[in-house]
Structure 1
Amino acid sequence: MNTFLSLAHKAAQDEYLKFVADNLAAMAQDLDQGRTSCKDALALLARAGYLGINVPTSYGGRGGTLLDLTLFAEIISGYAAGLGLALASHYTVVELLLQSGTEQQKSRYLPLLAKGELLGAQAFSEVNAGSDYKAITTEVKVSGSNASINGAKAWVVNGEIAQLLAVLAKDGTNLSLWLVDIEPGAAPAGIKVGPARSKLGMRASVVNDLTFVDHAVALDNRVGGADVKADQVEKALLNALDVSKTVMAGAALGLADRALELSAERARTHEQFGQSISKFQGIQWKLADLSMDRHAAQMLTYRAAWSQADEPEKFHQYAAMAKMFAAKVARVHSSEAVQVFGVMGASLEEDVERLYRDAKLTELFEGTSEYQKVIIKEELGV
């Protein structure tokens, strides 16, 4: 298995870097502080075709792989990790359709998701059912050619701005996945959208709780079709979550990259005791450790992205490893970056303050680091 980037991936990486430098870098603080909206930023990405990176060209997308998604999340998240989180939610819906959708569902939704005419959001988690997804209480009742959903979903990324929700609900005792359409600008019948949550970090994203009260959905919108089996639903769910974890690992990498870049620049340019602080061995060793950790996290994350297609039997394990390790590296890097900056690291004027807040959330969203260890130990058979 070649874990290094192909020429095509390197070309895409250069394209992403230029796009972010030209379009997003200057608005990073505005996104964090609410002066520029997540919706407007995602519209910018949609016009550039980046909401359809993993949509096949036959459906109007760019035909990219999970590695392409991960590279984009890595580059964008150094400036706006909240957008990386928003993309992870959107790409999860795309992945569900790609892996488990009927041809009718793919033909109907994928072209619109690719163009950004629809923004996707996964609505899986509940207050008492996060990583323990089997504990959900949201129910769907099927009657003839229609169904109705009742229940409450928590921490739905893109909740108030999405036009297509992927909702996890119980049909009796079995899990089921449903595609829920929301008309742009309309108050959806049977869905109450809670206020946007105030968050520690990743403030460029919008997160809401959703309550479903007898929300009607067509039977045709059951992911996989009316005859889909329970084990197929769980397989589709886990694959989609692993994609989301890998994209989030990419976002964590982006935060670590930016933290290291800013730390090195600060060390070269800031003087104490008559010399730049880069001359002090304590700073040198700190940066060396950060560089080593960053490269290790990158290799593990890229391997997870490669494994979806090349080693699918290992994907679940590698996604958990990548997400946990990259998130830890991001947290440590951002904390050390604040330390290198000294008291200026606590200033809202400095990017490292935002990186510090954003990095912590990579250990929480898309499954806590503790739960990733549970997955890893299960893969070991212990």
Structure 2
Amino acid sequence: MADPRCDGWLTEAADALDTGATLCEDLLPRLAAAGLPAVGVPQARGGAGGTVIDALEALSEVASHSLAAAFVLWGHRTYIEYLLQSPNLALADALLPDLLTGTQAGATGLSNAMKHLAGMEPLQVTAVTDGTALKVNGALPWVTNLRPQGFHVAAAVDGPDGVPFVASFAGTDGGVSRSDDLELIGLRGTNTAAITLADVRLPAGRIIAVNAREWLPRVRPAFAGLQCGMSIGLARRALAEARDAGGAGRGILAQPLSETTQRLEAAQSALFAGLRSRAFEADVAPLFEIRIALAEVVAEAVALELQALGGKAYLAGPGRGFARRSREAAFIPVITPSLVQLKTALAKRREQAA
């Protein structure tokens, strides 16, 4: 990671970030002080340079310490990516400085839009015009990194002309309401809540993309690719813990550990190749398949860690890290779009092709 001090803090804070909200206020500023949101952001835009693959690697490293921290970084960095790929340069120039320093939080409310794009569900936010401005209504039931200290959230809106667009809403906008944090079984330090939009007046300067159907396929690889970084980092850590725990009677695990590691590396290589070539913009199916494969690798990796630890995994002291990783692994299949939704979308594509 950019700053090794963040590495040490995440190791110490990982359990607290998973089980409670006491460190919510500290998390994003710590990540920003380590330079993590700036990875993959062009230097001309105030970032550290590099590509989205560099950002994915940084996110994977964070996930190897804390999935809660990686989940926050994913939401924040993905929102930044929306601004980088938006033709609305004025909006990006206005928001990027505070986002890169962690003064303001960025949140991606486009999970509904990504599912809509894949034909899974209708848009949940709509706009009407009163002749002078757009008025937006709807709800985003699950959004991460909604820091009470200040946030901006992206959402896809079904326009009055039937053309969906993508816009940014601030937590201070009239009509924007944030719920209390959701009662999650883990990842509780992520400022995850619901958003309600009630007659929010939307100025033209807040529009990220005027045509969501044309724009979303270009940003979906970054959205899902960075999401995959959470699986990569968690799987790497679980496999490393399993190898380190190997002792008498554990040699039988050497082959499955090697095979699972190879599957992880193959999925990661395919992900990086697709992002570099931009092939996922034209055909998203391989990206969905990689996301599914990585989730399966995470499940295998955590199961191998359990077998390598044996009874120690069930003791509160030595098993604490494993207990957290098992909860983290349970979240991977349900990150939106969930594995069930991805598999359903892929099955539908195969039926249509047939």
Q: TM-score range by the shorter chain?
A: 0.7 to 0.9
**Aligned residue for 1:12?**
none
Residue 345 (structure 2) pairs with residue 370 (structure 1)? no
Match of 2:213 among 234, 237, 258: 234
Match of 2:125 among 126, 135, 138: 138
Residue 321 (structure 2) pairs with residue 351 (structure 1)? yes
Range with bigger deviation, 62-71 or 361-370 = 361-370
List gaps (5 residues or longer) in structure 1.
1-14, 269-275
Match of 2:106 among 117, 120, 127: 120
Match of 1:46 among 32, 35, 38: 32
Residue 215 (structure 2) pairs with residue 216 (structure 1)? no
Match of 1:24, SS state, is helix
Tell me, in whole angstroms, the C-alpha distance in 1 between the residues paired with 2:226 and 2:90.
27
Aligned-partner residue type, residue 165 of structure 1:
V
* C-alpha distance after superposition, 1:344-377 (max 9, x if no partner): 3234542111111112212221311233345556
Tell me, in whole angstroms, the C-alpha distance in 2 between the residues paired with 1:368 and 1:41.
26
**Aligned residue for 2:169?**
180
Match of 1:363, SS state, is helix
**Aligned residue for 2:142?**
155
Residues 366, 68 of structure 1: CA spacing in aligned structure 2 closer, same or farther, 3 A cutoff? farther
Contact (CA 8 Å) 1:301, 1:322: kept in 2 or not?
A: yes
C-alpha displacement at 1:125, in angstroms?
A: 4.5
Residue 289 (structure 2) pairs with residue 321 (structure 1)? yes
Residue 246 (structure 2) pairs with residue 254 (structure 1)? no
C-alpha displacement at 1:255, in angstroms?
A: 0.6
Contact (CA 8 Å) 1:61, 1:111: kept in 2 or not?
A: no
Residue 297 (structure 2) pairs with residue 340 (structure 1)? no
Residues 16, 252 of structure 1: CA spacing in aligned structure 2 closer, same or farther, 3 A cutoff? farther
Match of 1:297 among 261, 264, 267: 267
Contact (CA 8 Å) 2:2, 2:36: kept in 1 or not?
A: no
Aligned-partner residue type, residue 51 of structure 1:
P
Tell me, in whole angstroms, the C-alpha distance in 2 between the residues paired with 1:54 and 1:133.
30
In the TM superposition, what are the counterparts of 1:278-293 in structure 2 within 5 Å? 278=250, 280=251, 282-293=252-263
Aligned-partner residue type, residue 100 of structure 2:
A
List gaps (5 residues or longer) in structure 2.
none
* C-alpha distance after superposition, 1:34-84 (max 9, x if no partner): 264233111111122212223221121112211011101111101111221
Residues 17, 346 of structure 1: CA spacing in aligned structure 2 closer, same or farther, 3 A cutoff? farther
Match of 1:139, SS state, is strand
Match of 2:177 among 164, 178, 192: 192
Residues 119, 196 of structure 1: CA spacing in aligned structure 2 closer, same or farther, 3 A cutoff? same
Contact (CA 8 Å) 1:245, 1:366: kept in 2 or not?
A: no
In the TM superposition, what are the counterparts of 1:164-179 in structure 2 within 5 Å? 164-172=152-160, 173-179=162-168
Over the matched positions of the two proteins, sequence identity in percent amounts to 21
Match of 1:63, SS state, is coil
Tell me, in whole angstroms, the C-alpha distance in 2 between the residues paired with 1:176 and 1:264.
48
**Aligned residue for 1:330?**
298
TM-score by length of 1: 0.81
C-alpha displacement at 1:121, in angstroms?
A: 0.7
C-alpha displacement at 1:16, in angstroms?
A: 4.4
Contact (CA 8 Å) 1:193, 1:208: kept in 2 or not?
A: yes
Residues 148, 253 of structure 1: CA spacing in aligned structure 2 closer, same or farther, 3 A cutoff? same
Residues 290, 65 of structure 1: CA spacing in aligned structure 2 closer, same or farther, 3 A cutoff? same
C-alpha displacement at 1:20, in angstroms?
A: 4.7
Tell me, in whole angstroms, the C-alpha distance in 2 between the residues paired with 1:236 and 1:367.
18
Contact (CA 8 Å) 1:52, 1:61: kept in 2 or not?
A: yes
Tell me, in whole angstroms, the C-alpha distance in 1 between the residues paired with 2:43 and 2:322.
38
Count, aligned residues:
346
Contact (CA 8 Å) 2:298, 2:329: kept in 1 or not?
A: yes
Q: Report the aligned-residue RMSD.
A: 2.7
Tell me, in whole angstroms, the C-alpha distance in 1 between the residues paired with 2:221 and 2:338.
13
Tell me, in whole angstroms, the C-alpha distance in 1 between the residues paired with 2:163 and 2:120.
12
Range with bigger deviation, 314-323 or 114-123 = 314-323
